[in-house]
Structure 1
């Protein structure tokens, strides 16, 4: 089951994209639930207590008081890790999305049905991959299983590893940075400091000697790690095709 939210202040657009999403879900035998919202405020209110209800969010950019770009930024601050697909009539907002990491931009009335289906299936694939990737750790008799998509970063101090996940939750267990780096190899986590390992998808922006996560947390960057962190993030952005528009 894939949960999809559609947010647009134009009812005709809601009807149009609801039909398309349902059509391609049925065609590809994907079971979905689809909910629609007519404003960014309504979407934010619905997700305020549980920001990861949706696997995929189709979000119109040009809406009333709160546009789609600001809505997406607020969602990320809440800890929402849903796959976001922007719906827009203009390409003007493309480079404002550095800290949002959308799946794609679909230009209304300019996107072919084939392209719409392709992006839909890509979002489905990304959402399903997140569901299946889990991080398992143990402390005493407690065993914790956490989806990788929920983990923003790890920090370690004297063999105590603290996992930071969702918005404010934490879990401690004993381990080493070396073990952790090996465990998270090729899972889009990067060591940014001798004591920190960060999820690349949570990086919002770089500062001179630190980086800011989408959760608002500021993480220090060790001078010896700065170059490799920026290179890894650049490759992540490129691989994700975040700024591609068709």
Structure 2
């Protein structure tokens, strides 16, 4: 079951969004539990003092008191895996939240047009999050969620798999040995033998990439322009309804 929170000070809007989410998840036969909060302070208190955990949080950016972005920054320090979706009248505000690795944002001015499309994208994301892939490690296979993989790195003719909580040395000798089309799963080979998960880019400074685990990698000069196009396409896919 996926645990979802809505942090929105307009109670009528919050209830409408809750109803839409419930119908969508029911349509896909996915179980969920939804909690509604009306300020950033409320949801933080719930998570800090009652130790509640959520898989997905919908934030109104313009909350009274602690803003949605400020609240999300505090929550991100508690849990790096939560999916954030922002709701706003002020489209430009969402750019202040890119460091939070947001999934999408919904414009209130286009709410009914966008929410259904974004929830469909969210369902696909959840299917992606739960799907596991097999990798040969020593004499055994281990199963990893692709989303948990930050990047692949070839060292000494072995593909090293860097995940959110561990590092694995696989039996694969090159990226081409892996039987998965990772470019279709938001991975990009920034340098020969280094393929990163675009979901885990924390910052991009010139040709330097800082990943969610704070590892710093560099983009090959000849791949830089193509990478920028691919990365901005990926970012745009999060902004457009």
Give, in angstroms, the shift of residue 88 of structure 1: 1.7
Report matched runs for 1:51-130 at 5 Å.
53-54=54-55, 56-73=56-73, 80-108=80-108, 110-113=109-112, 115-130=114-129
Unaligned residue ranges in structure 2 (runs of 5+): none
Once residues 176 and 24 of structure 1 are traced to their aligned partners in structure 2, the CA distance between those partners, rounded to angstroms, is: 43
TM-score by length of 2: 0.78
Once residues 137 and 42 of structure 2 are traced to their aligned partners in structure 1, the CA distance between those partners, rounded to angstroms, is: 40
Comparing 206-215 with 20-29, greater Cα deviation is found at: 20-29
- Relative to its length, the structure with more helix (as a share) is 2
Once residues 84 and 227 of structure 1 are traced to their aligned partners in structure 2, the CA distance between those partners, rounded to angstroms, is: 29
TM-score by length of 1: 0.77
Give, in angstroms, the shift of residue 70 of structure 1: 3.5
Q: 2:211 aligns with which of 202, 210, 213?
A: 213
Does the aligned pair in 1 maintain the 2:159–2:175 contact within 8 Å? no
Give, in angstroms, the shift of residue 23 of structure 1: 4.0
Does the aligned pair in 2 maintain the 1:136–1:143 contact within 8 Å? yes
Unaligned residue ranges in structure 1 (runs of 5+): none
Q: Residues 75, 51 of structure 1: CA spacing in aligned structure 2 closer, same or farther, 3 A cutoff? A: farther
Q: Provide the alpha-carbon RMSD of the alignment.
A: 3.3
Report matched runs for 1:182-201 at 5 Å.
183=180, 184-201=182-199
Once residues 231 and 128 of structure 1 are traced to their aligned partners in structure 2, the CA distance between those partners, rounded to angstroms, is: 26
The residue aligned with 1:22 is 22
The residue aligned with 1:131 is 130
Q: Residues 31, 207 of structure 1: CA spacing in aligned structure 2 closer, same or farther, 3 A cutoff? A: same
The residue aligned with 1:233 is 231
The residue aligned with 1:171 is 168
Give, in angstroms, the shift of residue 145 of structure 1: 0.8
Once residues 78 and 11 of structure 2 are traced to their aligned partners in structure 1, the CA distance between those partners, rounded to angstroms, is: 27
Report matched runs for 1:22-41 at 5 Å.
22-26=22-26, 29-40=29-40
The residue aligned with 2:148 is 150
Q: Larger relative contact order (C-alpha < 8 A, sep ≥ 6)?
A: 1
Q: Residues 39, 165 of structure 1: CA spacing in aligned structure 2 closer, same or farther, 3 A cutoff? A: farther
Q: Residues 205, 181 of structure 1: CA spacing in aligned structure 2 closer, same or farther, 3 A cutoff? A: farther
Q: The residue matched to 1:186 in structure 2 has which SS?
A: helix
Q: How many aligned positions are there?
A: 238
Once residues 12 and 23 of structure 2 are traced to their aligned partners in structure 1, the CA distance between those partners, rounded to angstroms, is: 17
Q: The residue matched to 2:190 in structure 1 has which SS?
A: strand
